[in-house]
Amino acid sequence: MTFLPSILSDNERLTLQRLVAEAKNVVLLCHQNPDGDAIGSMTAATLLMRRLGKTATPIVPNNYPDFLSWLPVNSDILLGDRQHRRVDNAFANADLVLMLDFNGLSRAGQLLADKLAACSAPRIMIDHHLNPEDCCQLTISHPEMCSTCEVLLRVMLDMGWTEGLTADEARALYTGIMTDTGNFAYASNRPEVFQAVSILLTTGIDKDKIYRNVFFSHTEGRFRLMGYLLYEKMEIMHELHTTLITMTNEERMRFNTKNGSTEGFVNIPLEMSGMKLSIFLREDTEQEGLIRVSTRSVDDFPCNEMCSRFFNGGGHKNAAGGSLKMTMEEAVQVVHSAVLAYREVLRL
């Protein structure tokens, strides 16, 4: 079926085999503010565990955007910040926890991080973020890969679990690969990405429909908010090839849009010729006085380094984020200092 080389050592394969064989009740988790790769990998892993005869309970720290609700398993996913009793039961019964698309307990949010730390079941991390924390019995971390869905498919190939790969599993995996590469616009130069996709397509999935489900599913409010932000709220630092967009909760509500409906906005300014860095600041919808930071870049500009130096965060080279406990006005000042600190590379 494939010429893709193995990514697991013999030891890792045996450990994974044993942990899965010994488990009956598997809890699956992804990171806070889940995106297509988080939900896609968690969904695929849930379906896989059920195919292997396990009881699988997927949990998200908080709700995720509507454009992912068409995915299978959607109605089984527990909301960590709302369904406390069912989440506690799932952890109490768990004999294995799969952590998908995040590299450390805290990225599941405080509430779930505490429950995760208190749960005695062994943990397996399957992820592609840099610098994984040492917090699991088995850590399968591949930052060179485009998405956790790519990592998961490679793990499934190594374990022989792709024998019997279902179209629903393939749809979920394709969703993560497609969204984390911006429909193959970035982080997708490795030939293995397309070999992975070609394996998924053999199950007969309609990838064009998945594209429409995810990218052509927005509300009028999102469109009007996008127009407003680009027209009224975008500062362009022409000499530094950098843009900054800010959005308050009042503005978000004025356009009747929910959490998650601004997903992807930060990418848009990079479509302007010559732009190198785009920064998006938005007020957190739950925590007052917290500003969420998203950054995107092209070529070699290190968003992750900037986010860890200035915004209490991190991430990938071309896509990173963080947060600031301050007012929007103060956060804008921090952004200006951060951009100035990189003026030599941004000016070129």
> Of 132-151, which residues contact Mn ion (CB under 5 A)?
147-148
**In degrees to the nearest 10, what's the CA dihedral of 34, 36, 41, 44?**
120
Q: How far is the CB of 304 from ligand 5GP (least distance, A)?
A: 7
Nearest to 52 by CA among 90, 88, 25, 29: 25
Q: Which residues contact 199 (CB under 8 A, 6 or more apart)?
A: 1, 2, 153, 157, 162, 165
132 touches, from Mn ion, ligand 5GP, none (C-beta below 5 to 8 Å by class) = none
By beta-carbon proximity to ligand 5GP, the closer residue of 23 and 260 is 260
Q: How far is the CB of 1 from ligand 5GP (least distance, A)?
A: 30
Pattern 178-217, binding to Mn ion, x per CB under 5 A? --x-------------------------------------
Count, residues in the chain: 348
Q: Which residues contact 80 (CB under 8 A, 6 or more apart)?
A: 59, 60, 61, 62, 87, 108, 109, 111, 112, 115
Q: Which of 25, 32, 37, 96 binds Mn ion (CB under 5 A)?
A: 37
By beta-carbon proximity to ligand 5GP, the closer residue of 94 and 266 is 266
Nearest-angstrom CA–CA distance, 238 and 240: 5
Q: How far is the CB of 189 from ligand 5GP (least distance, A)?
A: 18
Q: How far is the CB of 260 from Mn ion (least distance, A)?
A: 15
Q: How far is the CB of 259 from ligand 5GP (least distance, A)?
A: 12
> Of 88-127, which residues contact Mn ion (CB under 5 A)?
101
263 is a site residue for Mn ion (CB under 5 A):
no
Number of residues that bind Mn ion (CB under 5 A): 5
Which segment (29-37, 50-58, 189-197, 249-257) binds Mn ion by CB under 5 A?
A: 29-37
CA 178 from chain centre, in angstroms, equals 12
Q: How far is the CB of 178 from Mn ion (least distance, A)?
A: 12
Nearest-angstrom CA–CA distance, 127 and 103: 7
Name 243's bridge partners: 236, 278
Nearest-angstrom CA–CA distance, 322 and 311: 5
Helix axes 167-180, 148-159, angle to 10 degrees: 140
By beta-carbon proximity to ligand 5GP, the closer residue of 57 and 142 is 142
Nearest-angstrom CA–CA distance, 275 and 279: 11
By beta-carbon proximity to ligand 5GP, the closer residue of 161 and 311 is 311
Tell me if 274 sits within 8 A of 297, measured CB to CB. Answer: no
Q: List residues near ligand 5GP by CB under 6 A.
A: 129, 266, 294, 313-316, 319-323
313 touches, from Mn ion, ligand 5GP, none (C-beta below 5 to 8 Å by class) = ligand 5GP
Binding footprint of Mn ion on the chain (CB under 5 A): 37, 101, 147-148, 180
